[in-house]
Chains A and B, each alone.
Chain A
Amino acid sequence: MSTDATLSFEEAMEKYDPVLGFEVHVELNTKTKMFSSAPNVFGDEPNTNVNEVDLGMPGVLPVVNKTAVESSIKIGLALNCKIAESCRFARKNYFYPDTPKNFQTSQYDEPIAYDGYLDIELEDGTVFRVEIERAHMEEDAGKLTHLGGSAGRIQGAEYSLVDYNRAGVPLVEIVTKPIEGAGSRAPELAKAYVAAVREIVKNLGVSDAKMERGNVRCDANVSLRPHGRERFGIRSETKNVNSLRAVEHAVRYEIQRHAAVLDSGEPVIQETRHWHEDTRTTTSGRAKSDADDYRYFPEPDLVPVVPSREWVEEIRQTLPEPPAERRKRLKQDWGYSDLEFRDVVNAGVLDEIEETITAGATASVARKWWMGEIVGRAKNADVDPGQLGVTPATIVELSKMVEAGKINNKMASAVLDGVLAGEGTPAEVVEKRGLAVVSDDGPLLEAIDAALAAQPDVAEKIRGGKVQAIGAIVGGVMKATRGQADAGRVRELILEKLGVTA
C-alpha cells in the first residue's frame, strides 16, 4: 500500500477551494424489512432474520413497508424537503453475492423527498446552510465476510461467508447538493453535517443512529478547484466513513491529497477511496467509469408510492421539535451562558442534562455534575459520557445528599467513583466507605480549638473583623477531620467561637 503525497492543510487552503458532497445512509429501525416481513434486528445469528423474499427465492415479490415510507417522509420533512406526490422504486442491476436478487431495489429518478436544506451550526455558532438534493428509500445488502486471505478483502480470500440478515433492511439515502464556500472549515462542516443528520434521525425515532453499528454511514465526496474558478474539480468518493471524527479526518485528508495531486500537475482520478482509521489515510478503491452500468429501470413488481397530502400533513404534525430549536429552548430554560451551553452541546450531554433535570436536579447542578465530573471520566474511559453508566437518579441522589449536608462535594465525587465501581447506590457507597460528614459539633469544636491555637495570628485577624481570613482556620479543621466535616458548619462554629458576626 503506497502512501499518497499530501500538502499541509494550510497550504492546500491557500491554493484551493474545496467543494463537498455527502451521501448519508440511514438504516431505519422498523420492526420488519423494507420489502418483507422478516424481522429487522441487528446482531442475531447469521441468516436467521430472513425469509424467502430476503433470500431472493424464485417467485417472490416485494411489498413496501408502510412504516419505512412514513419514516422516510419524516426524514424528508425534518430536512425541509418536498415530499413527492407519487414516486417509484427502480432496480439497480449488478451481480454481487451480497445482493440476493442480483439487483438492489432502490429509488432512482423519483425520490420520496427532494429539494431541502439543513442549517448546520458550527462549534463557534456560525450557521452554514447545506442544500439537500434528495432523500430516497432503498434496501440494504447482506454482509460478506472474506476469509482465508489477507485483511478481510475479497482479493485473495479462499472463501466468503454471506449473512443476509441485513439484506432488505430499510435505508434512506440522503444526498446533498454540492457544498461550496466552506473553505478551511470544510472538515468541521463535514463532521457537523453528519452529526446533525444523525441527531435528526435519532430525534425522529426512525433510526437507532448508532454509527458504530452502521446505522448511519457516510460517503464523503471531495473535490478542489483553484480559488475563483466556478467549475468543480474532479471528485473522489470516500466510502463508509463511519464515525464523526473519521468524517472530519477523511475530508481533511482528501483535501490535502487532492491538493498534492493538483500541485503535481496530474489530474485527480474520479474514484472510490477507502478510509483507514488506523493511519487516517485513504487508499484507492475502484475507479468509477462508464463501465458501471446498473441498467436502472422502474421496479415492475411494485406500484408507485403515493403519499396523500393529508397523510404527509398528519406526519408533519407529529414531528418532534427539531434539535436546533430544542437547543434554543433548552438554553433559555436552563439559563446557561452561550459558552456554557456550547460546551454542553459539544460534550454531547444535552440529553443527559435534560433527563437529570427532569429527574429533579436544578439546571446548574445538572450541568456541574455532567460537565465537572462525568465528561472528564468518560474521556478517560474513552466512551461517550452517556455510556459511562451514570443515571440521572444517581446524580439527583448525590446532589440531595450534598444539599442536606450529609456529604460535601469532594466526598460526592468519591461516592460517584464508588457508584461507577459498582459498589451500589450513592447511599450504599456512603455507608460502605464511611463517608458521612461529621455533624456532631463536639469533635468539630475540639478541632477548631486546635486550629485556632495553631494559628493565633489568624484568629486575631478574624477577631479584628478580617473575616475573609477564616479560610485558613477552616482548612485546618478540614485537614484535621480528613475532609469529613461540613465546611459551612465549621465556619459558623469558628465565627461563633470568636464572637464575630459574618
Chain B
Amino acid sequence: MTETNSTELIRLSAAQLAAKLAAREVTAVEVTQAHLDRIAAVDGGERGVNAFLHVNTEEALAVAAEVDAIRAAGGQAAEELHELAGVPIAVKDLIVTIGQPTTAGSKILEGWHSPYDATVVKKLRAAKMPILGKTNLDEFAMGSSTEHSAFGPTRNPWDLDRIPGGSGGGSAAAVAAFEAPLALGTDTGGSIRQPGAVTGTVGVKPTYGGVSRYGAIAMASSLDQIGPVSRTVLDSALLQQVIGGHDPHDSTSLPDPLGDLVAAARLGNVDGMKIGIIKELHGEGYQAGVENRFNESLELLKEAGAEIVEVSCPNFQYALGAYYLIMPSEASSNLAKFDGVRYGLRVLPEEPPLTIERVMGATRAAGFGDEVKRRIILGTYALSAGYYDAYYGSAQKVRTLIQHDFDAAFEKADVLISPTAPTTAFKLGEKLDDPLAMYLNDVATIPANMAGVPGLSLPGGLADEDGLPVGIQLLAPAREDARLYRVGAVLESLLEAKWGGPLLDKAPELASPVVEHVETFETQEAK
C-alpha cells in the first residue's frame, strides 16, 4: 500500500480520494479521520474558521468503516459501491438530517432534530458518503456573508478577518480550508456561487428542479436550489450526479435527468463554442481586480478555440429589485410555520394574557434575527391587499422579462460568462449595517435564480489590489448544466496551468492539523 500523510490526504480532490479508495491505497476511515482532525484543528476557537455548527464524528466514522468493510470483503457488494463511497462531505445546515441537529442558523430551531432526511441526504447515505457535519450559514440562508448566523460568523480561510460569502459561507469555507473535499449548499440568489467566488472554490447552482428541494428548509421556493460545493469542477459534477434527478416528493423537480455531467467535465472542450459576455454584468460597479481576472479568463477561452461574443440583457438591471420582492414574499409565507406551536423554540410573553397569538409573537420576536425579520416584513407588505399587483405582480413580470433576456442571449451564445461577484471578500462587519450594500453582492448571481437557469462559479485568480480570490460565473440554458461543466473544466485547467497548480495552493496556511495518531503516507501525484 502506498502511503500518504494526513495533511496530503485533505488536499486531495474528491475524484482523487475516490481513486485512492477504489485502489485501496487508503481507507475511508483514514480519509474521514483526516478531515475530522482538520476540523478539530482549524474550525474552533477565537480565530477558528467556524465553518461547522455540528460535527458528526461518530456517524461519519461508522459509515467510513462500513465502506472499508465492504471493500475488504470484496465481491459484488464491493463492486456495487458508489464511486464516491467513503468520500466525506459537509452539509449546509439548512438541509435536514436525521441524527444531527438542523438549525438553519437560527435560534428558533436551536436543538431541533429532524424526524426525516432530506432527499439529497438520503442520496448521500445511499452512496455511503460519510457526513462530516452541518455547516454554518446566514440565518435561513438570508445573507451574503454568513454574518447573519445566530451562531457567529464563519471566517474566510484566505483572510480570517473577511467574510466567506453567504449564505453558504460555512460550506465554502469548509472546502477552502480543507475541512471537507465536498459540501452541499443551497442557492436562492447566489448563496452557493458567491461564497465559491470569495473563497476560491467551485460552486454550482443546478437548473431549477435539477436537484430535489425536499428537506431544504425553504427561503424562497421558486428560487431555492441545492447544489454542490467543491475545489474542482469535476468534483462538483461528481456530486451533482449523486444528488440530482427526479424526486416524487418535490413536484417542481424535473422528470428527466440532466445527462452525464461527469463526462462533460472530463470532456473539457470549448473549440467552436460561443461564449457570451453579458454587457450588463461587468464593468461599472465591479472591482478592477475582478474585472482584470475576468478579462484574463476570456483571453484563455479564446485561445482554447471559443468564440467570444457580447450579449445584452437589458432587464437584468431590474433583477435585484424584483428579487427583493419575490424572495421576501415567499419567505414571509415559508417562515410562518416557525411559531413555537409544534417544534423548536417557544417563548412565553413576559406579561399576561397568555394567548396563542402572543406566544407566537414572543417566539418569533426572540427566535428570528434582524435580517430575517426585515425580509418577513418586506414580504408581508409586498403581498398585502392593495400592494400585491404593484409589488409581487410587477416583480413576476420582471421575472418573465429576465427569462426572455436569457432566451435571446442563448440564441447568440452557448454559455454566458460574467464575474460571479462584483468584489472580493469584504471585511467582517463592513456591510452589516448597510443591507442594500450587502444585497448588491448578488447582482450577478440573481438573474440565474430568477430564470431557473444553471450557474457555476469557479476560481478566476486573485485580485491584484488585495490578493483575494475572484470568481468567474458561467451560465447555461435550463437543463444544459453539462455545458457549465464542459466549459468550466477547460477554463479551470487553463488557469491552473497558468498558476502552476490549484489557486488554493496560494492560500495562507491555517493552524497545523492534529496528526499524532495518523501514519505517514506518500501521495501519488494526480494527473
Contact present for A52 and B342 (CB under 8 Å): no
Contact present for A59 and B95 (CB under 8 Å): yes
Taking CB atoms, residues of chain B closer than 8 Å to A57 are 96, 114-116, 342-343
Contact present for A93 and B336 (CB under 8 Å): yes
**Residues 242-271 of B contacting A (Cβ, < 8 Å):** 248-252
A-contact 0/1 string along B220-241, CB 8 Å cutoff: 1110000000000000000000
Taking CB atoms, residues of chain B closer than 8 Å to A93 are 332-333, 336, 383
Output the least CB separation between B223 and chain A (Å): 8
Output the least CB separation between A115 and chain B (Å): 25
Contact present for A95 and B339 (CB under 8 Å): yes
Contact present for B360 and A95 (CB under 8 Å): yes
- The reply on B497 being an interface residue by CB < 8 A is no
Q: Which of B64-72, B192-200, B210-218, B418-426 contacts the other chain?
A: B210-218
Contact present for A301 and B383 (CB under 8 Å): no
Contact present for B96 and A59 (CB under 8 Å): yes
Contact present for B114 and A295 (CB under 8 Å): no
Contact present for B221 and A301 (CB under 8 Å): yes
Contact present for A295 and B342 (CB under 8 Å): no
Taking CB atoms, residues of chain B closer than 8 Å to A64 are 251
In Å, the complex CA distance between A290 and B386 comes to 11
Q: Which of A97-105, A340-348, A493-501 contacts the other chain?
A: A97-105
- The reply on A293 being an interface residue by CB < 8 A is yes
B-contact 0/1 string along A63-78, CB 8 Å cutoff: 1100000000000000
In Å, the complex CA distance between A3 and B347 comes to 41
Taking CB atoms, residues of chain B closer than 8 Å to A95 are 336, 339, 357, 360
Contact present for B221 and A297 (CB under 8 Å): no
Contact present for B114 and A293 (CB under 8 Å): no
A-contact 0/1 string along B275-312, CB 8 Å cutoff: 00000000000000000000000000000000000000
Taking CB atoms, residues of chain A closer than 8 Å to B218 are 59, 61, 301
Contact A303:B251 (CB < 8 A) given known A100-B337, A295-B333 = yes
Output the least CB separation between A471 and chain B (Å): 76
Contact present for B251 and A59 (CB under 8 Å): no
- The reply on B329 being an interface residue by CB < 8 A is yes
- The reply on A160 being an interface residue by CB < 8 A is yes
B-contact 0/1 string along A90-125, CB 8 Å cutoff: 010101110011110000000000000000000000
In Å, the complex CA distance between A103 and B252 comes to 19
Output the least CB separation between B264 and chain A (Å): 27
Closest A residue, CB atoms, query B330: A300
In Å, the complex CA distance between A303 and B115 comes to 26
Output the least CB separation between A255 and chain B (Å): 31
Output the least CB separation between B344 and chain A (Å): 8
Taking CB atoms, residues of chain B closer than 8 Å to A100 are 337, 342
Taking CB atoms, residues of chain B closer than 8 Å to A464 are none
Closest A residue, CB atoms, query B108: A58
In Å, the complex CA distance between A303 and B333 comes to 17
Contact present for A101 and B337 (CB under 8 Å): yes
- The reply on B439 being an interface residue by CB < 8 A is no
- The reply on A437 being an interface residue by CB < 8 A is no
In Å, the complex CA distance between A267 and B379 comes to 37
Please report the total number of B residues contacting A with Cβ < 8 Å.
44
- The reply on A211 being an interface residue by CB < 8 A is no
Output the least CB separation between B109 and chain A (Å): 7
Candidate in B115, B336, B388 with the most chain A CB atoms within 10 angstroms: B336
- The reply on B18 being an interface residue by CB < 8 A is no
Output the least CB separation between B105 and chain A (Å): 12
- The reply on A302 being an interface residue by CB < 8 A is yes
Closest A residue, CB atoms, query B343: A57
Contact A97:B341 (CB < 8 A) given known A60-B214, A300-B222 = yes
In Å, the complex CA distance between A303 and B255 comes to 12
Our count of residue pairs bridging A and B at CB distance below 8 angstroms stands at 105
Contact present for A59 and B339 (CB under 8 Å): no
Taking CB atoms, residues of chain B closer than 8 Å to A295 are 332-333, 380, 383-385, 388
Contact present for B385 and A56 (CB under 8 Å): no
Output the least CB separation between B150 and chain A (Å): 15
Which of B251, B338, B357, B360 contacts A301, CB < 8 Å? B251
A-contact 0/1 string along B376-420, CB 8 Å cutoff: 000010011100100010000000000000000000000000000
In Å, the complex CA distance between A100 and B341 comes to 9
Closest A residue, CB atoms, query B140: A58
- The reply on B444 being an interface residue by CB < 8 A is no
Contact A58:B380 (CB < 8 A) given known A301-B252, A303-B252 = no
In Å, the complex CA distance between A162 and B95 comes to 28
Taking CB atoms, residues of chain B closer than 8 Å to A103 are 333, 336
Contact present for B336 and A101 (CB under 8 Å): yes
Closest B residue, CB atoms, query A290: B385
- The reply on B184 being an interface residue by CB < 8 A is no
Contact present for B222 and A59 (CB under 8 Å): no
Contact present for B333 and A58 (CB under 8 Å): no
Closest A residue, CB atoms, query B214: A61
Which of A56, A58, A91, A302 contacts B251, CB < 8 Å? A302
- The reply on A55 being an interface residue by CB < 8 A is yes
A-contact 0/1 string along B94-112, CB 8 Å cutoff: 0110000010100001001
Which of A56, A58, A160, A301 contacts B109, CB < 8 Å? A58
Contact present for B336 and A102 (CB under 8 Å): yes
In Å, the complex CA distance between A23 and B448 comes to 43
**Residues 27-65 of A contacting B (Cβ, < 8 Å):** 52, 55-64
Taking CB atoms, residues of chain B closer than 8 Å to A101 are 336-337
Contact present for B249 and A61 (CB under 8 Å): yes
- The reply on B511 being an interface residue by CB < 8 A is no
Output the least CB separation between B449 and chain A (Å): 12
Taking CB atoms, residues of chain A closer than 8 Å to B249 are 61, 63
Taking CB atoms, residues of chain A closer than 8 Å to B338 are 58
Contact present for A59 and B337 (CB under 8 Å): no
- The reply on B437 being an interface residue by CB < 8 A is no
- The reply on B118 being an interface residue by CB < 8 A is yes
- The reply on B366 being an interface residue by CB < 8 A is no
Contact present for A300 and B221 (CB under 8 Å): yes
- The reply on B23 being an interface residue by CB < 8 A is no
**Residues 429-481 of A contacting B (Cβ, < 8 Å):** none
In Å, the complex CA distance between A96 and B329 comes to 19
Contact A297:B343 (CB < 8 A) given known A52-B116, A59-B214, A61-B214 = no
Contact A297:B392 (CB < 8 A) given known A57-B116, A97-B356 = yes
In Å, the complex CA distance between A91 and B331 comes to 12
In Å, the complex CA distance between A296 and B392 comes to 11
Candidate in B116, B216, B333 with the most chain A CB atoms within 10 angstroms: B333
Taking CB atoms, residues of chain B closer than 8 Å to A162 are 341
Contact present for B384 and A58 (CB under 8 Å): no
A-contact 0/1 string along B325-369, CB 8 Å cutoff: 000011011001111011100000000000011001000000000
Contact present for A59 and B114 (CB under 8 Å): yes
Contact present for B215 and A297 (CB under 8 Å): no
Contact present for A61 and B385 (CB under 8 Å): no
A-contact 0/1 string along B58-76, CB 8 Å cutoff: 0000000000000000000
In Å, the complex CA distance between A96 and B356 comes to 8
Taking CB atoms, residues of chain B closer than 8 Å to A297 are 329-330, 333, 383, 388, 392
Contact present for A61 and B341 (CB under 8 Å): no
In Å, the complex CA distance between A400 and B104 comes to 74
Taking CB atoms, residues of chain A closer than 8 Å to B215 are 59-60
Could you list 11 A-B pairs, sorted by A, with CB under 8 Å?
A59-B118, A59-B217, A61-B249, A61-B250, A61-B251, A93-B332, A101-B336, A295-B385, A297-B329, A301-B252, A303-B251
B residues whose Cβ falls under 8 Å from a Cβ of A: 95-96, 102, 104, 109, 112, 114-116, 118, 213-218, 220-222, 248-252, 329-330, 332-333, 336-339, 341-343, 356-357, 360, 380, 383-385, 388, 392
A residues whose Cβ falls under 8 Å from a Cβ of B: 52, 55-64, 91, 93, 95-97, 100-103, 154, 160, 162, 290, 293, 295-297, 300-303
In the A-B complex, the 8 residue pairs with the closest CB atoms: A102-B336, A295-B383, A300-B221, A300-B222, A59-B215, A58-B217, A56-B337, A59-B96
Known: A301-B252, A302-B251. 8 other contacts (CB 8 A): A58-B114, A58-B343, A59-B96, A59-B215, A61-B221, A101-B337, A102-B337, A297-B392
